Structure 1
Amino acid sequence: MTDTTTLIAQLRALLVLTQTEEQIARIRVTQARTDAVRRELQQNAEHAAERTTAIAEQLRRLGGMTDVVTPALGRLGALVKATLEQAEPIDEALLQDLQLEHQLLDRATYLKVLAQTAEQPAVHELAERLVTAHSATVEWLTVVLAEQALGGPAALRATPFQRVAGGAGKLASLPVRFAANTVNRAVDTAQHAGGQAGGAVNGVVGDVVGRATAFSGAVRETLTVGRVASLRRAERIAEREGNSSTAEAVAATRRELGDLTAEELPIAGYDSMSTAQIAKAVRELDDPQQVNAVIRYEEAHKARSSVVSATQTRLAALAKEAVGIPE
């Protein structure tokens, strides 16, 4: 028979991790793209709270005293995670969520075997419940990441900082080099002009960074409009010069921002269709990029929740297919 000390240690570890899971789920609620995802995340948070209570009860039953520090540690862990991930793209944050769920699943599986060996049926039942819950969450996060990999807006929206972090990564590989070349020439000139010029450049950069942190929603919207106009102009220039690869790259970036016309959508007569007709048409799309185009157009122009949910459901189905998860 296994000493209950090991069981208590695993229950304590699961308690801290489950507290963290609950807080992260509550943070993710604010990032939900659709009402359905928001409800699911709210339920996840509530279920995590219930699991926390069940774990604490088993700890008390086995003589492992619970304390007021453990829940605080879980909340602190979630807060630290949420703060640190602001400097990361959304996919990195989701990968860390997935890592947490895998750790919870592995510990719950270990606890299940320990409880069986120690002849603790109540703990064994709890462990089975945990394994089922975390297996479902692992699958859900895997699909969300697959949606992201397919290029579509995932079930969760990136925070403003995460959009900047992700956009920086995309910008680095963007084949449109006019802005980059201009910046490179300016920096090169400043370096040759000497340290004083370098100090001036640093001062300007610092000022820009400082101002960026104070942008309001209205200013960000203005910048987005300006960015779309610039992309359209860059696309026209590339097409005029016969640079089709650059023109397509810029067009893809423009479409990702939701700057689409109805004629560019894969569904003919989109603007004259009812929401039910659109939902039916979306279910027939097999190309994730086409589904993404519909999502981004709808969000940028009409923002009908039923249409967004239908397209998101189709994208999730394609993501499941991509990772080998049966419907």
Structure 2
Amino acid sequence: MPVSTTPVRSQLSVLLTLTHTEVQIAQTRVLQARTEAVVDELRRNAENGRVRAVAIEEALREVGGLPEVIRPLIGRGVAAAKSVIEQAQPLDEALLGDLQLEYQLLGRAKYLKALATAHDLPSVVDLADSLIDAHGATVDWLTTVLAEEAIGEPAALRRTPVQWVSGVVANAVALPGTVVARGADHVIDHVAKIPQRITGLRSAAKDTTETVAVTLTAGRDAALEAAEEAARDTGATVIADTIHTARVATGTVSAEDLPIADYDSLTVSAAVAALKELQKPSDIRLVVEYEEAHKDRQGVISAAQTQLASIAKDIVGVE
């Protein structure tokens, strides 16, 4: 085979390795899927990745190369190592890593198309076009999931337990009263560094910390509710929102806290219709957390995720 096709073979080999990594990651993400619809989507992604890998192998043979045995194993190993390492990362950092991989696949697919065009390899050009379409769509999906995470759950993917525990809120809920006070002080110190903070926020937030420490002896749920009310009364809205997140995460939010009236009496179709009217991500998140803690109706949770995805797409400009 002419030496001139070496760059094409090289790119196909790298794409094959990265595609195997992509497949492994998609399979790992299935365990984090929030709804059955997302599970199905991720499984299709993994299967489509396997189909792409076969197509890349065929293209390699066409240009005189042979699919390697070691490279796919490396790709799977990279994905396995990534899944272990990212357990200590917040979900957004893990997703940004996934997005980086997809951008690399997209960029290499475009480069492959240019190489194949220059070497008059129409079948490889067609393969490159299909790869560009696939990875472009995945980039949009991951960008949307990141936007969902940024504006508040329910994102398509859940945090793993390790990722959740790494958050300040989870630490505050899990630890005894004295440690809660210290953790809240840490949050307060962080908030106090924000240039635009409200005058007196630190003092108000410290009062909230004392409320948490004292009332925890009377029960965590009552303590969190009382602390949230105290924070809002003193104007410490950032701390109040943090405590509210803790209440949501531990299932202590009641039906009266929801932005939908008489929620407990609604059928699935009625709840879905009401969700479609919500535009604030925090309201949608509140409904989902309550739903998951009390009724766990997949139709409602899927509708909430779809509504949030629509809002997220508008924010990041994804069609």
TM-score above 0.5, yes or no: yes
Residues 90, 240 of structure 1: alpha-carbon distance in 2 compared, 3 angstrom cutoff: closer
| Equivalences for residues 2-151 of structure 1 within 5 A | 3-151=4-152
Aligned counterpart for 1:300 among listed residues 293, 304, 310? 293
Distance 2:217 2:4 in 1: 64
Taking the aligned partners of 2:310 and 2:53, their CA distance within structure 1 comes to: 32
* Distance in 2 between residues matched to 1:168 and 1:240, nearest whole Å: 20
Matched, 1:291 2:284: yes
Q: TM-score, normalised by structure 2?
A: 0.81
1:233 paired with 2:223, answer yes
The 4+ residue runs of structure 1 with deviation greater than 6 A are 169-172
Aligned residues of 2:99 and 2:142 also touching (Cα < 8 A): yes
Rounded Cα–Cα distance in structure 1 between residues aligned with 2:144 and 2:290:
22
* Distance in 2 separating the partners of 1:21 and 1:184: 39
Counterpart position of 1:179? 179
| Counterpart residue identity of residue 114, structure 2 | V
Q: Does 1:243 align with 2:234?
A: yes
Cα-to-partner distance string for 1:113-157 (whole Å, 9 max, x where unaligned): 111111000100000000000000000000000000001131111
Q: Tell me the number of residue pairs that the alignment of Structure 1 and Structure 2 aligns.
A: 281
1:261–1:183 CA distance, 2 compared to 1 (3 A):
closer
Deviations 1:19-72 (A, max 9, x none): 000010011111111000000000000000000010011111111111211111
Matched residues in 2 for 1:227 and 1:318: separation? 41
Aligned mates of 1:142, 1:148 — CA distance in 2 = 10
Identity percentage of aligned residues:
47
Q: Which moved more, 1:109-118 or 1:250-259?
A: 250-259
Structure 2 counterpart of 1:221: none
* Structure 2 runs not aligned, ≥5 long: 186-215
- Partners of 2:317 and 2:269 lie apart in 1 by 29
1:324 paired to 2:311: no
1:143/1:320 contact within 8 Å kept: yes
CA change 1:169–1:239 in 2 (3 A) is closer
Amino acid corresponding to residue 317 of structure 2 in structure 1: G
Q: Which amino acid aligns with 1:31?
A: Q
Equivalent residue number for residue 278 of structure 1: 271
Is the contact between residue 164 and residue 170 of structure 2 (CA under 8 Å) also seen in structure 1?
A: no
Partner of 1:158 in structure 2?
159
Q: CA deviation at 1:164?
A: 1.7
Distance change in 2, residues 1:150/1:257 (3 Å)? farther
Shift of 1:254: 1.1
Measured in 2, the distance between the counterparts of 1:153 and 1:8 equals: 42
Structure 1 counterpart of 2:74, one-letter code? L
For residue 30 of structure 1, give the secondary structure of its aligned residue in structure 2. helix
Q: CA deviation at 1:258?
A: 3.6
Superposed displacement of residue 228, structure 1: 12
Identify which range, 253-262 or 277-286, moves more after superposition.
Answer: 253-262
Q: Contact 1:235–1:247 at 8 Å: present in 2 too?
A: no
